[in-house]
Amino acid sequence: MHDVLVIGAGTAGLTAAIYARRASKSVLVLEARGFGGQILNTPAIWNYPAEPGISGFDFAMKLYSQAETLGAEFAFGTASGFRAEDGGFTVPTADAEYRGRSLIIATGTSHRGLGLPGEEALTGRGVSFCATCDGALYKGRDVAVVGGGNTAVSDALYLSDLAATVWLIHRRDSFRADPADVALLGRKENIRLLLGTRVTGLVAEDKLSAVVLTGPEGRTSELPVAGLFIAVGMVPATGAFEGLLELDPSGYIVAGEDCRTSVPGVFAAGDGRTKDVRQLVTAAADGAVAATAAVRYVNSL
């Protein structure tokens, strides 16, 4: 049994591992896919203090290396929940069970889809959720990005250096993204804005050939594109904990700035908890707070 069992190896989880190890607690980090979380595929990070322009991959690897050097242990597996027993918590996966005296849940979020017919089948055949992963496949071709937040604007700017034309489609009349990034859109001659417009259908045979648009007055049209990049928000990856922890109506773990959940000894850190700001810096802060609280909990046992 480890002192601190962390579920998720994104910024919050890895930071929690670093802080718990510096407090001389044994730590196991359980990760479902790969170290780094959502930031892994970001080409450049400009809003993390003291690391301007660092790539998401380098940032993630620095965090992982630091946690590993300090002595954190790692395992791969998808947590299917947890149960309290024998003075700690047991987290089962498909292949094994892991135990900790305290538990930090830092499972983050996953991409939200548009819910359109054929969307899932076309993922990887014209539909993508990762511009930096798949953008090079559409070099010199017309693509569309749907969304109005930081990710959508960042994706459009990134793709503008690869694609012939980038259509940025947003259902509202203004963007929610940082004004500084929105201002950059006007400097790119090959970015076209379609505001007050929704993507309501996909046209494809073997792969995507066009998207169906519905404009402000309800008129529909088809826009020929080779790729559609969806950036309309995230869904908390907390389904495994439904019924075990208090979740809000959107599925986020109810936990305040102290990262304490409805179950003593279980803490939530990162984008998967209820919070106003979901950024790298707040994920790191959550990791530090959750680990500190977990250490105090373990010391009190």
At residue 217, does pLDDT exceed 90? Answer: no
> For residue 216, what pLDDT is reported?
84
In tens, the pLDDT along 100-139 reads 999 999 999 988 999 999 999 999 899 999 888 789 999 9
Catalytic residue among 134, 142, 155, 271: 134
At residue 14, does pLDDT exceed 90? Answer: yes
Q: Which two tokens stand for residue 184?
A: 């950059």
134 is catalytic: yes
pLDDT band at residue 40 under the 50/70/90 scheme: confident
Tell if the pTM clears 0.85, that is, is over it: no
Catalytic residue among 133, 161, 248, 258: 133
> For residue 31, what pLDDT is reported?
96
> For residue 159, what pLDDT is reported?
96
Contact yes or no for 264/293 (Cβ under 8 A) = no
CATH fold for the domain made of 2-110+234-300: FAD/NAD(P)-binding domain (3.50.50)
d(CA 45, CA 53): 5
133 is catalytic: yes
223: closest CA among 280, 275, 265, 166? Answer: 166
At residue 43, does pLDDT exceed 80? Answer: no
Q: Which two tokens stand for residue 215?
A: 């404009």
| Domain range 113-230, CATH class | alpha beta
Q: Half-sphere exposure (CA, 13 Å, Cβ side) for 81?
A: 7
pLDDT band at residue 248 under the 50/70/90 scheme: very high
What DSSP designation does 270 have? S
Q: Is the dihedral of CA 270, 275, 278, 282 positive or negative?
A: negative
Q: Where are the domains of the chain?
A: 2-110+234-300, 113-230
259 is catalytic: no
At residue 251, does pLDDT exceed 80? Answer: yes
Which percentage of the chain shows pLDDT scores above 90?
Answer: 84
Catalytic residue among 58, 86, 130, 258: 130
pLDDT band at residue 47 under the 50/70/90 scheme: confident
Helices (H), ranges, 125-279: 131-134, 150-159, 179-185
d(CA 263, CA 61): 32
In tens, the pLDDT along 152-179 reads 999 999 999 999 999 999 999 999 999 9
113-230: same fold as 2-110+234-300? yes
